Chains A and B, each alone.
Chain A
Amino acid sequence: IPGRHSYAKYNNWDKIVAWTEKMVDKHPEMVSRIKIGSTFEDNPLYILKIGKKDERRKSVFMDCGIHAQEWISPAFCQWFVYQAAKSYGKNKIMTKILDRMNFYVLPVFNVDGYIWSWTQDRMWKKNRSKNHNSKCVGTDLNRNFNVSWHSSPNTDDPCQDTYRGPAPESEKETKAVADFIRSHLKSIRAYISFHSYSQMLLFPYGYTLKLPPNHEDLTKVARIGTDVLSTRYETQYIYGPIASTAYPTSGSSLDWAYSLGIKHTFAFELRDKGRFGFLLPESRIKSTCKETMLAVKFIAKYILRHTS
């Protein structure tokens, strides 16, 4: 018995699994669960699909918890699924969105790492795969995607927190997510990844200071998205390309999804700006999720209107 799930608290993996079942039971016409693969430690990777059965509709792919210690991120994905399912038929905007598009939500990307951060090391970031010829464990899944994977400043040292893995998509988790996105590419119009912390809304590229072809469009969405987000609690976000707004990275999911043809890809770096860092208190979960929801709904509406 995993115990009581709460949207106002951080939930361990067992509670999240039980919650996915509950969401499907409660909203069978709106929510379905898809197992897209399993992790290094053989835990299931679940995606919740929100929306009607029609596969041809536009869709948005969202993932949370690619980095284990960023607990606010899975908390947001759970909040999003709950709010979307609950408000369908009640909230005008959400109803309109869900009548026309689907969401694929991966509540926890790095399941093994998330479990480890609950049970052994609160500051754990990577997954839990064993590394050949090293006593150090884990790969940074957000450097394991097949985009500019070979370029510096990635590290080849498995003992580093930012280790990119032995090859692109070497990790079962990365491969499962990449396969799922590739197989649903026809419908996916936007990809959104949720991280913490530092209050940013980022878009490609991370591996170069060059700007993507539709950077004006992405900048506009990010500017309005952060404006909308701030209307609730006046939380200030900055926005821009990863490389110049945060710092250069390669092998990131955002750049990879963009290179695959999903031309609206964003990463949220949620609260806060360092007072708590990765240890955002539970008392701030709800407000963080509420304001983020506004921005995500805006992005979804924009995708509906401006993509073919």
Chain B
Amino acid sequence: IAPVHFDREKVVRVKPQDENQVSIMKNLAKDNELDFWYPDAINHVAANMTVDFRVSGKEFQSIQSALDQNRMHYEILIDNLQEEIEKQFDVKEA
């Protein structure tokens, strides 16, 4: 099996401000393949909680427009996950 690659995958941070924004997040999770980093599942997401999730580059566009439309602030923590995976090995062999 070929190893999984994460080219252009992003990690996004959102902080839903109220129950309405929580349910928007839940709908987004229903319609897209989101990998929740923190908390570790959508059912743990609550208002005022910092939520980090991974999303493919392709799905990010629809997520981004949904967040924009609903005036939900977001931050891109990691823009290209594959690059970050490679960068974590930043110590040379002794």
Chain A residues engaging chain B, CB cutoff 8 angstroms: 4, 6, 8-10, 119-123, 125, 153, 155, 160-162, 197-198, 246-249, 274-283, 285
Contact = CB atoms under 8 A, between A and B. Distances in A.
B41 A248 contact: no
Nearest to B75: A274
A123 B41 contact: no
Nearest to B82: A122
Interface residues of B, number: 32
Given A123-B6, A162-B41, A279-B81, 19 more contacts: A4-B93, A9-B89, A121-B4, A123-B4, A123-B35, A153-B43, A198-B38, A247-B44, A274-B37, A274-B38, A274-B52, A274-B77, A276-B78, A276-B84, A277-B38, A277-B78, A279-B78, A279-B84, A282-B88
Contact of A6 (B78, B87, B94): B94
A160 B91 contact: no
B50 A6 contact: no
B46 interface: yes
Contact of A122 (B6, B41, B46): B6
Interface in B1-42: 1, 3-4, 6, 11, 13, 35-41
Nearest to B89: A282
20 contacts: A6-B91, A9-B89, A9-B93, A10-B88, A10-B89, A122-B85, A123-B35, A153-B41, A197-B37, A198-B38, A247-B49, A248-B44, A274-B38, A277-B37, A279-B87, A281-B87, A281-B88, A282-B90, A283-B90, A283-B91
A274 B4 contact: no
Interface string B54-77: 100000000000000000000001
A275 to B, nearest CB: 7
A248 B78 CA distance: 27
Contacts of A120: 1, 3-4
A125 B4 CA distance: 14
Contact of A278 (B37, B43, B49): B37
Contacts of A276: 78, 84, 88
Contacts of B54: 123
B6 A160 contact: no
Contacts of A121: 3-4
A10 B89 CA distance: 8
A198 B39 CA distance: 10
Contacts of B43: 153, 155
A9 B91 contact: yes
Nearest to A285: B91
A275 B40 contact: no
Contacts of B91: 6, 8-9, 281-283, 285
A280 B38 contact: no
Contacts of B11: 274, 277
Contact of B52 (A9, A247, A277, A283): A277
